[in-house]
Amino acid sequence: MYNQGFGGPGFGGPGGPGFGGPGFGGPGFGGPRPQGFGGPGFGGPGFPQQGGFPQQGGFPQQQQFNNSANDDDEWEYVTDDDGDYIEDENGNIMTPQEAEQRGLVTKTDGTVDRGIGKNLLIGGAILGGLWIMNKQLKKKRRVKKANPDNVPYKWVKWTGSAPANAVSFKTNIGKTFIIARGKVKDGLHCGYADPASKKLYTSYGGEEVVCKEFEILTCPPNRLTWIRCSNPQQISDKAVVGGYEKDGTTLYVTKCMRDQTAYFGKVYKTGYCAYYGYDGKEWRINDFEYLAWN
């Protein structure tokens, strides 16, 4: 007959910035033939390094992840079922890896049927894996701020009439167009609004898109200027942010000439042309002007 031993409780080592190390039970030793079982493990206490917070049990206190002061000035998070970030019940934004450490998601080997849990799956090849949310939390996508801080201009909701500081242009065909933007295919796309029709005209996927709900650009006098451009990669950091694509690519406001008439459109820095909507189609133009603030 052999004695059955039990190992003592194991303790994890101290955590990095705000995270306790995993605990492992110590090995148990019985009589001549060891048949012991490891004792329960406990995560060691987290020790605060820069940016970290200690908490009993080795878990970080709830905090805003991936949102440093610099990020707050430049980025924002929008709700999107295809997003790769998670928002918890307290409004904290985090990556799947951070959510896994807090027990909010579970990593999967990728064999989960996407058709069953499509809205619960996050991540992919770029993030190094797939996770399943353990709770019904919001999925978020990080995008360039559509209404940046510390700039003279502001986007406001169209309410049926244009304010005095709306950024507009009187065309040679007797119309006044206002720079505007609207939601299209999970993105925010800029174009031109016609106060007469009370509609926004922009473009997407080769077609003109018409929106009844949109925002218009406003700005104090003499704070904006048009800059000629034929290479989007040369667009300055002071270009007016007009919106973003579904994948988060930033879009900037452009002025595109057609038959001596100006139409407002969009451009992104990694492209080679500007885009605008007209007569049911999306048109491209290599020589255009983009709007910048001063």
Q: Give me the count of residues in the chain.
A: 294
CA 175, 176, 182, 185 torsion-angle sign: positive
Q: pLDDT tens-digit profile of 152-165?
A: 999 999 999 999 99
Q: Provide the token pair at 86.
A: 């998670």
Q: pLDDT tens-digit profile of 20-60?
A: 444 444 444 444 443 444 444 444 444 444 443 334 443 33
What per-residue confidence (pLDDT) applies to 18?
A: 42
CB 283 within 8 A of CB 258: yes
* 159: Cβ contacts below 8 Å, ≥ 6 apart: none
The closest of 265, 263, 240, 245 to 254, measured between CA atoms, is: 265
* Residue stretches of the chain with pLDDT short of 70: 1-74, 109-129, 144-147
CB 228 within 8 A of CB 274: no
The secondary structure of residue 57, as a DSSP letter, is: T
- Looking up tokens 């106060």 gives 195
% of the chain beyond a pLDDT of 70: 66
- pTM flag (> 0.75): no
Cα-based distances in Å from 103 to 69, 133, 140: 26, 9, 18
Map out the domains of the chain as residue ranges: 69-144, 154-293
- Looking up tokens 């009439």 gives 161
